[in-house]
Amino acid sequence: MSLIKPPADLKLLRIAGKKLGDVLRLGEEKAKAGMTLLELDAILHQAITDEGGKPLFIGFEGYPNASCLSVNDQVVHGIPSDYIMRDGDIVGIDLGLWLGHVCVDAARTIAIGQISPKAAHLLEATQVALKAGINAAKPFRRVGAISQSVQDSAELNGLGIVRALTGHGVGHHMHEEPEVPNYGRASDGILLRPGMVLAIEPMLTTGGGEIVTADDGWTVSTADGSLAAQFEQTIIITPRGHEVITA
């Protein structure tokens, strides 16, 4: 499988990315205290369909829903349930979308009502780390340039890094090469080349970086119960830098 996507696929990926960004914004607008995670998932599923796409996650290794919704100490892969969102929660919304034969992946963690200063710092600093990683994504640098930039930003803001999970290539499959860790050295990894498509996704915590997986086989939480946040964008490496297509 080539890591370099042809121009026709890049054009379709840009369209798909715009659609997914719109769905994520809708999810942030609709999510509120008193709503269940299943109700939010249904809204997101319908929005993907309305955009002419198909949910990327449904059926992947048996996953049952259109979205992953992860609350408070849950890092990623939370299965939507009848949990009722409450004022003060933070909720990670992770979504993927097929458009024809291409796919994109993006996530954001949102505040439900008034959140604590610690939670607000986590959300803001994780977004800053994502921006740092994206800004480091330039052709003929190595993947490690992204990784080191995320790590430096996270550590500067006093956050833990989930090292067991990474970003990844995307475009024709949900998970493609290369892996994009959230820690490392700028000299690590393969060279970035124009036409590569990457999902960059810092997963940071207010405590340590160790994780545990629930009995459902999916939901990943912090081992120490600390708060967690995930922000993710799909980008294209261009001849001059990068292009964020899910913003």
Q: What percent of the chain has pLDDT over 90?
A: 99
Tell me the whole-structure pTM to 2 decimals.
0.96
pLDDT at 223 over 70: yes
Tell me the per-residue pLDDT of 137-179, one tens digit each, with 9 for 90 and over.
999 999 999 999 999 999 999 999 999 999 999 999 999 999 9
Mean pLDDT of 15-33: 98
Tell me the per-residue pLDDT of 118-148, one tens digit each, with 9 for 90 and over.
999 999 999 999 999 999 999 999 999 999 9
pLDDT of residue 53: 98
pLDDT of residue 60: 95
Supply the mean pLDDT for the chain.
97
Among residues 1, 56, 73, 65, the alpha carbon closest in space to that of 36 is found at 65
pLDDT of residue 168: 98
Tell me the per-residue pLDDT of 55-81, one tens digit each, with 9 for 90 and over.
999 999 999 999 999 999 999 999 999
Cα–Cα dist 2/233, whole Å: 21
Mean pLDDT of 33-49: 98
pLDDT at 224 over 80: yes
List of residues 6+ apart from 62 with CB closer than 8 A: none
pLDDT of residue 2: 79
Give me 214's structure tokens.
Answer: 């629930």
| Residue written as token pair 């080191």 | 148
pLDDT of residue 147: 98
For residues 195 and 4, is the Cβ–Cβ distance under 8 A? yes
Among residues 230, 233, 232, the alpha carbon closest in space to that of 70 is found at 230
Mean pLDDT of 193-219: 98
pLDDT at 1 over 70: no
The strand order across the sheet containing 242-244 reads 176-180, 167-169, 197-200, 233-237, 242-244
- What CATH number does the domain located at 7-238 have? 3.90.230.10
Which pLDDT band, with edges at 50, 70 and 90, does 112 fall under?
very high
